């Protein structure tokens, strides 16, 4: 982890198909390149790993060839992207259970070819804790994976919704509470599954996950299931992530209370190209968004995780303001091919003032549970 920042990549609905071999080829190439640039602590694969459809997509059936292709593709991604296989967690989607009469049977290829099966992680609930090793008290991150596919996998088109049980919901609640009680640092909790909440049924006694997530202060629910198509159109594009100053619209009250003035700007730039120039511009919204300062950033060469971190010093005192949205920041990047990329303008407050907006839980898309703990320094 970079201080208290965790890097996680989620992919979903791969739909690897015997009739579309380009999907696996594109996945290995583009995802491998992205992982090599991002260097995440985790890769989450949130279901519908294979397509399990005939050529005309009119009937469904499990195809072992598709699962063998998935296993080979993951091996290629590991080699190309430099991620350890133990950092990959995959879960079932509805396509992965089409026509599977019971878990562990001869048609349940997930139990043979998935990463979780290879590493003997076949529980319905998976807990992964990311925590810093060298800085006690830094924030930890809990990622809780849930498999809500049907225990008896009926065929397409009826198999479309997630089906939690009372026992599973209680186990999720218990697992979230366990880590809240046993973490020695502030903990951010994220849940991932295949089905959006709008495609998840209530349990037999009418329970739903939303109330559990609200009571346990879940920061986000990552899922898949709903998508437009399965074609990867382009390789990794240059992406800009400002890690400091924090966007005043996305800060929470805990961050605000612990705030201290810092005289630096930190930006991560992910790209398949060599980066030639990175600069930040500060705008004053009280003066027609005119530029008040332009600051060049330099690559930090000593990053232990090989992250493409760019850094600059500035005088934060110049931007003190009671308004959390007076000053705005935008980052500009130039690569070796002359291509220019810019981030969105974002407000910031050097004093930790929070811009309050309305919002709620985000959807970004056997033993009952297992726990994994990863430590980084």
Q: Assign residue 337 a region: left if phi > 0, alpha if psi is -120 to 50, beta otherwise?
A: alpha
* Mean pLDDT of all residues belonging to the chain: 85
Mind listing the pLDDT tens digit for each residue in 117-138? Answer: 999 988 888 989 887 665 555 7
> What pLDDT, on a 0 to 100 scale, did the predictor assign at position 132?
65
Sorting pLDDT into bands at 50, 70 and 90, what band is 295? Answer: very high
Helix (H, G, I), strand (E, B) or coil at 25: helix
Mind listing the pLDDT tens digit for each residue in 326-338? Answer: 999 999 999 999 9
Beta pairing class for 187-192 and 290-299:
unpaired
Check if the beta carbon of residue 258 is closer than 8 Å to that of residue 362: no
Beta pairing class for 290-299 and 309-313:
antiparallel
Calpha distance 374→234 (Å, rounded): 32
In this prediction, what percent of the chain has a pLDDT beyond 70?
Answer: 84
Length of the chain: 377
Mind listing the pLDDT tens digit for each residue in 22-78? Answer: 999 999 999 998 898 888 999 999 999 999 898 887 888 889 999 999 999 999 999
Most confident segment among 97-101, 230-234, 262-266, 295-299 = 295-299
Helix (H, G, I), strand (E, B) or coil at 128: strand
For residue 237, pLDDT over 60 is answered with yes
Structure tokens at 27: 């996945």
Query: What is the b/e burial string over 231-266, where b = at least 16 CB atoms within 10 angstroms of the residue's CB?
Result: eeeeebebebbbeebbbbeebeeeebeebeeeeebb
pTM: 0.72
Mind listing the pLDDT tens digit for each residue in 155-207? Answer: 777 788 899 999 999 999 999 998 888 777 788 899 999 999 999 999 999 99
């Amino acid at each position: 982890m970079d201080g208290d920042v965790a890097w996680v990549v989620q992919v979903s609905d791969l739909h690897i198909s015997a009739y579309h071999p380009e999907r696996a080829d594109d996945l290995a190439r583009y995802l491998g390149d992205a992982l090599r640039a991002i260097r995440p602590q985790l890769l989450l694969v949130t279901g519908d790993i294979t397509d399990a459809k005939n050529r005309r997509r009119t009937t469904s059936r499990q195809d072992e060839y598709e699962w063998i292709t998935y296993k080979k593709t993951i091996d290629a991604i590991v080699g190309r992207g430099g991620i350890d296989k133990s950092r990959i967690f995959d879960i079932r989607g509805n396509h992965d259970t089409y026509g599977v009469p019971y878990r562990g049977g001869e048609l349940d290829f997930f139990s043979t070819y998935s990463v979780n099966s290879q590493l003997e992680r076949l529980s319905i609930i998976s807990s992964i804790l990311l925590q810093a090793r060298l800085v006690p008290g830094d924030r930890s991150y809990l990622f809780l994976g849930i498999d809500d596919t049907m225990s008896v996998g009926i065929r397409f088109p009826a198999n479309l919704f997630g089906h939690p049980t009372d026992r599973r919901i209680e186990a999720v609640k218990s697992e979230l509470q366990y880590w809240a009680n046993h973490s020695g640092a502030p903990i951010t909790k994220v849940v991932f599954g295949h089905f959006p909440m709008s495609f998840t049924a209530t349990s037999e006694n009418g329970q739903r996950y939303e109330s559990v997530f609200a009571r346990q202060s879940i920061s986000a629910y990552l899922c898949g299931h709903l998508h437009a198509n399965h074609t990867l159109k382009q390789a990794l594009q240059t992406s800009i992530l400002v890690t400091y100053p924090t966007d005043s619209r996305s800060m929470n009250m805990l961050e605000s209370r612990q705030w201290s003035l810092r005289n630096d700007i930190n930006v991560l730039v992910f790209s398949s190209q060599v980066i030639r120039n990175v600069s930040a511009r500060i705008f004053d919204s009280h003066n027609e968004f005119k530029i008040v300062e332009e600051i060049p950033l330099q690559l930090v060469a000593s990053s232990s995780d090989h992250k493409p971190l760019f850094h600059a010093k500035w005088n934060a005192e110049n931007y003190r303001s009671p308004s959390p949205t007076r000053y705005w920041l935008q980052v500009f990047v130039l690569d070796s091919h002359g291509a220019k990329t810019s981030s969105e303008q974002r407000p910031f407050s050097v004093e930790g003032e929070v811009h309050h907006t309305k919002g709620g839980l985000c959807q970004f898309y056997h033993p009952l549970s297992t726990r994994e703990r990863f430590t980084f320094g």
